[in-house]
Structure 1
């Protein structure tokens, strides 16, 4: 049986725990305990039983998930080596420090106990070596004036634990309800991790003694990280991919994502981690001024002649301080009454009314653009730090209102998306820019780019639930999440240069979509979740709006004729001298 199992999720779940070691005929342990934090609560709830019976009322409680929802769970099953079978000796142990309750569990046994510092603030009440370790660690936190795991230096923590590890076997988890620390014994790793990635509808993990169902009470597409003293069998939609924490290694996890890792001395293989979210995501480096040449060709063919029609073309790049249009031409193979104007969003639009029949229309736009947005954050004061919630003056809110209204979706779906968005806010200590970087990077890493998997009618919630789509879908999801958080966001359509740095063949054959977010004291700043980058001098902006319909390159209406339509699009973006 795993005598240690910890779980961190990106949002609250209510898993069902079936403690199979309490079934009739099973070998009973010397005790068990389950600790968890209710959403928004700094205090921990611990259910524990020393010397449990088969007819355990608390085991039935956790089996039926009546413990409630939480984003953090720690389960410990005891095999007694130190101390009597009592509550005081049954893990996980809890203590209050820094305005929060901490939880600790240990798998293993020390050959001798560590010595506590003189006049310690924390002392054990039981007789186990595990509780002594817990108290020793908290006393060290006090001496450093670290009031949370987030304030602690992971390298210092690893050094502390390596010293304790010299006294015997040490596999531990420690949490303050926000962050989860896991340390694997330096002699032979006794901790394994499993990274849970949505979507899933039926999922559980088990061995002969314990089973945890994540979906018995409904799936919520939460990602998460499991830390266990032994691999468990994965049933349902999940992949069986347990991996050990390297011996002597340390992980820090928050909201289902790896925040920090301390590797043991010596070489270790590098591996790509889709659920990794560094504690400080990288800011963009200063780019180079670029001149790009864009050719966009669209061909409409119809089975029957179109007699009367109206067309709108948004194919003229934006001209402003960050982007200079050096040359532009737009040619249409069909003649008609044309006029140009700027729409309500500042986009240059050509309106064409055609009253003569045609079966083919060819639209060709050629542009040469100089991109100057080399450092989009350069003019932001270094002292400035924006955090959630954002506060807007009444006139600002009025001006930004079109970009603050989320799409019309069922309230239950908007609630789930709000909860999802808030996990990024919490994971990044309510910092606005770190949250934006995290959302941008997470969509890039965790969502699949699959052409043809969605339509124009696909909603942000459907993208969130399936974790797949194209650039338009990822942008719509990003925009929806930001607006639910009170951050103005708009849809941007244009082109992206996919040179050696960002090879993406499908994008080179069509226009591209990304997001602009309005940041205090910065203005509109571009995020490209499809490529996981901030927009600088690889993106040519053409049109913006609330949604795709405000910024679509070509649109219109056929009044008479037409029939079945065939569309061809070719886009080429190249560096020019």
Structure 2
């Protein structure tokens, strides 16, 4: 039986707890309790029961009560060693401080109860746990800390090391925002005197509950979105069908988690860990200007000749203050009429009309581009409107409106994505830049790059739910999250330099008769060892997002590679979505049939 279980998830979680230890014929525990923060309010609700009967009504509440919905949940099942069986001695305990309710629960038993010093918090019951809780809260008040986020982790670790000298001390402690867990430095001999275990959970979950003969936790019975989470437990529980991945906390280790991510980790003998500590992602350093030769070849082949067709090409790299097109040439294998123009997004377009039959169309574009986006964030924090929520002037809102409209999808899915987006805002204390860097890194680290797993019709919610896709999918997800946060976002199509494949000549011919090499092999890895870390891209072109930041303008974020775009990225087209920026598109009016499409891209650095 797990004595203690706590969960921290991104967004609101609505779990179902089945207390099988209260089944008829079973020996019930001495008490149990579930604490949570309904609707992420600062106040907590605690459902608890001492000496519970088998036909417990409260037991049914924690299985299906609609108000049991929170991003932080603490569960305790008591085996009494201190004090009588009363409500006052049943965990988890709660105290109000600094405008929030704080929850505390303890697995293990102390040999000596510590003296509670301080005039602010006093114990109501007789347990060692409540005395420890009040002692810690008094020390927090003396320090003037108002949130767990304010804690000096090393100082708190010293307090807990001092206290676990009295006996076994495995605790969880939360203010509803952050979850602190501490594993006893020595452990004990009793069944509940071990340490604590961590399980970092990632969607998709496939509807599998986890638990043991006494407690079953179902995250799906009452409906769940694809939230990442961290589970802390005094005993590793089994998941239906297997697949659980528990990691024992090291003796004397303290962690602080928020929204399912471990933010701080101190104490213990910290070696390799399966639970990654997420620090704040910093802005990029300064890059060097670069000149590239870009070759882009596309071939269409049809079983039946095409007699009349129209094609739209966006293959000319952009020119602005951060990127300069030195030279561009385009070869088209089929004779026809053409017209160049700039679309409403400022993209250079070429429209082709073919009225003579053809079975194969080859397009070959070559460009020389200078990229000088060396310091996109200008080595300084954002000065104006650097925190959420952002407020735009009416004329700004009017100009940016196309990039603020979220993609159409069911309202329930929009709510889930909004909760997901807001989890990043909360854990970064509403800081604009840190939130965006966190989203960028999270998609890079936690979503699987898998070709063929999605289509052009895959929605941002589908990507969020299944946690896999390619660059277009990760870009669409980032765009949806940014727009839900009131931040203008646009889709960018272009190219990415993944490292030298072979030296490019200093003055290459723009149109070559050689066949361009593919930038990636069939496995999705770079075909040659790369000197850069951003090696993920599609075989055709690459996609990323640009966000409009106050006083900085459009800044590129590449969630596929977890970077802020600099001189590795060559922009070609932008728009509200993929359809506005796709490199090639067209309509066949007469003829056609089975289509074979081949695309080759090569980006070379010109020294």
Is residue 519 from structure 1 mapped to residue 519 from structure 2 by the alignment? no
What is the aligned partner in structure 2 of residue 277 from structure 1? 278
| Aligned mates of 2:418, 2:535 — CA distance in 1 | 33
| Aligned mates of 2:291, 2:275 — CA distance in 1 | 35
Shift of 1:390: 0.9
RMSD of aligned Cα (Å): 1.7
Greater CA deviation, 140-149 or 323-332?
Answer: 323-332
Gaps of 5+ in 2: 188-193, 500-529
Runs of 4+ in 1 over 4 A off after TM superposition: 379-385, 501-506
1:225-259: CA deviation from partner (whole Å, max 9, x where unpaired): 110011111125x7211111111111111111111
What is the aligned partner in structure 1 of residue 246 from structure 2? 242
Shift of 1:370: 1.7
Shift of 1:113: 2.6
What is the aligned partner in structure 2 of residue 216 from structure 1? 221
| Aligned mates of 2:433, 2:495 — CA distance in 1 | 24
Is residue 171 from structure 1 mapped to residue 201 from structure 2 by the alignment? no
Any conservation in 2 of the 1:497–1:508 contact (CA below 8 Å)? no
| Aligned mates of 1:530, 1:507 — CA distance in 2 | 8
Shift of 1:505: 6.6
Shift of 1:506: 6.6
| Aligned mates of 1:299, 1:52 — CA distance in 2 | 72
Shift of 1:451: 0.7
Shift of 1:383: 4.4
Shift of 1:273: 4.1
Normalization by structure 2: what TM-score? 0.91
Any conservation in 1 of the 2:384–2:550 contact (CA below 8 Å)? no
Any conservation in 1 of the 2:335–2:354 contact (CA below 8 Å)? yes
| Aligned mates of 2:594, 2:536 — CA distance in 1 | 25
What is the aligned partner in structure 2 of residue 207 from structure 1? 212
- The SS at the match of 2:537 is helix
Shift of 1:36: 0.7
What is the aligned partner in structure 1 of residue 265 from structure 2? 261
- The SS at the match of 1:509 is coil
Shift of 1:351: 1.5
1:155-199: CA deviation from partner (whole Å, max 9, x where unpaired): 222122112122221100000001000000111461001111111
| Aligned mates of 1:154, 1:371 — CA distance in 2 | 43
Any conservation in 2 of the 1:509–1:572 contact (CA below 8 Å)? no
What is the aligned partner in structure 2 of residue 227 from structure 1? 232
| Aligned mates of 1:79, 1:129 — CA distance in 2 | 13
Pairs within 5 Å for 1:526-545: 526-545=556-575
- The SS at the match of 1:401 is helix
Give the one of 565, 582, 590 matched to 1:552: 582
Any conservation in 2 of the 1:304–1:561 contact (CA below 8 Å)? yes
Pairs within 5 Å for 1:61-140: 61-117=61-117, 119-140=118-139
Shift of 1:385: 5.5
Any conservation in 1 of the 2:296–2:366 contact (CA below 8 Å)? yes
Any conservation in 1 of the 2:10–2:229 contact (CA below 8 Å)? yes
- The SS at the match of 1:399 is helix
- The SS at the match of 2:209 is strand
| Aligned mates of 2:497, 2:372 — CA distance in 1 | 14
Q: Sort the Cα spacing of 1:529 and 1:173 in 2 relative to 1 into closer, same or farther, 3 A.
A: same
Any conservation in 1 of the 2:40–2:71 contact (CA below 8 Å)? no
Any conservation in 1 of the 2:417–2:461 contact (CA below 8 Å)? yes
- The SS at the match of 1:320 is coil
Any conservation in 1 of the 2:475–2:545 contact (CA below 8 Å)? yes
Any conservation in 1 of the 2:283–2:377 contact (CA below 8 Å)? no
What is the aligned partner in structure 2 of residue 157 from structure 1? 156
Gaps of 5+ in 1: none
| Aligned mates of 1:407, 1:309 — CA distance in 2 | 30
Is residue 335 from structure 1 mapped to residue 335 from structure 2 by the alignment? yes
Q: Sort the Cα spacing of 1:345 and 1:95 in 2 relative to 1 into closer, same or farther, 3 A.
A: same
Q: How many residues align?
A: 571
Shift of 1:380: 5.0
- The SS at the match of 1:29 is coil
Shift of 1:281: 2.1
- The SS at the match of 2:47 is strand
What is the aligned partner in structure 1 of residue 424 from structure 2? 424
Shift of 1:46: 0.8
Shift of 1:347: 0.6
Q: Sort the Cα spacing of 1:301 and 1:382 in 2 relative to 1 into closer, same or farther, 3 A.
A: closer
| Aligned mates of 2:74, 2:567 — CA distance in 1 | 47
- The SS at the match of 2:494 is strand
Shift of 1:478: 1.0
What is the aligned partner in structure 2 of residue 187 from structure 1? 186
Shift of 1:115: 3.1
Normalization by structure 1: what TM-score? 0.95
Shift of 1:270: 2.4
Shift of 1:548: 0.6
Any conservation in 2 of the 1:10–1:255 contact (CA below 8 Å)? yes
- The SS at the match of 2:213 is coil
Any conservation in 1 of the 2:96–2:102 contact (CA below 8 Å)? yes
Any conservation in 2 of the 1:313–1:349 contact (CA below 8 Å)? yes
- The SS at the match of 2:40 is coil
Shift of 1:271: 3.5
What is the aligned partner in structure 2 of residue 376 from structure 1? 376
| Aligned mates of 2:431, 2:98 — CA distance in 1 | 21
Shift of 1:501: 4.5
Any conservation in 2 of the 1:192–1:243 contact (CA below 8 Å)? yes
Any conservation in 2 of the 1:497–1:573 contact (CA below 8 Å)? yes
What is the aligned partner in structure 1 of residue 514 from structure 2? none
Shift of 1:111: 2.3
| Aligned mates of 1:127, 1:510 — CA distance in 2 | 68
Is residue 60 from structure 1 mapped to residue 47 from structure 2 by the alignment? no
| Aligned mates of 1:271, 1:488 — CA distance in 2 | 37
What is the aligned partner in structure 1 of residue 140 from structure 2? 141
| Aligned mates of 2:487, 2:346 — CA distance in 1 | 21
Any conservation in 1 of the 2:92–2:103 contact (CA below 8 Å)? yes
Shift of 1:23: 1.1
